[in-house]
Amino acid sequence: MKVVLPAILLLEAIVVALAIPVALAVDDRGPTSAIVLGVLAILLALGSGAVRRPRGVAVGWVLQALVVLSGLLVPALAVLGLLFLGVWVLGVIYGAKGDVLAAQNRAAEAAWQAEQAAKAAEAAASDVVEPGSAEDRAPGSAG
């Protein structure tokens, strides 16, 4: 989720920013719709950084609703907003599954590293020669 959701919001910010000239050319509301879409594009870009924080996903849901509602200014954005909403839902579902798998992988890696360290310590301890033992004496010397 830490990679997918910010990417989705950044792509949405680009799409909304590209809709600004469309809103100015097609819409008769003047610069108001362009300003609203510009603010929304900035919020989406900022939201992409906030998604990694604890309440960031909730911020993302609010931004998704705003993108769908921006379809009132530019009707094509309603369709694109719904498409991005679907991608967002999939990102939340599969991103959470990916986070669980990544945590399991980290735990397995830590366990494996601890096991390897224990084996290395055991091997090092068995290689230590005690003074005065038969292995410590020079070959051919009587003990």
Please report the pLDDT score of residue 139 as a whole number: 63
- pTM for the complete prediction? 0.72
Residue 31 corresponds to which tokens in the numbers above?
């610069």
Q: Is the pLDDT of residue 135 over 80?
A: no
- Strand extents, DSSP E, the chain: none
For the chain, give me the number of helices (H) and strands (E)?
4, 0
- Please classify residue 98 by burial: count the beta carbons closer than 10 Å to its beta carbon, then call 0-12 exposed, 13-18 middle and 19+ buried: middle
Q: Is the pLDDT of residue 140 over 70?
A: no
Render pLDDT for 72-117 as a digit per residue (tens, 0 to 9): 888 889 999 999 999 999 999 998 888 889 889 999 999 999 999 9
Q: Is the pLDDT of residue 143 over 60?
A: no
Please report the pLDDT score of residue 141 as a whole number: 60
Specify which of 6-10, 92-96, 121-125, 133-137 reaches the highest per-range mean pLDDT.
6-10
Dist CA 119 CA 129 (whole Å): 18
Render pLDDT for 38-80 as a digit per residue (tens, 0 to 9): 999 999 999 999 998 889 999 999 999 999 999 988 888 999 9
Terminal-to-terminal C-alpha distance of the chain: 68
Please report the pLDDT score of residue 91 as a whole number: 92
φ, ψ (nearest 5 deg) of residue 63:
-65, -35
Please report the pLDDT score of residue 133 as a whole number: 59
In sequence order, the 6+-apart residues with CB closer than 8 A to the CB of 84 are 8, 11, 12, 15, 64, 67
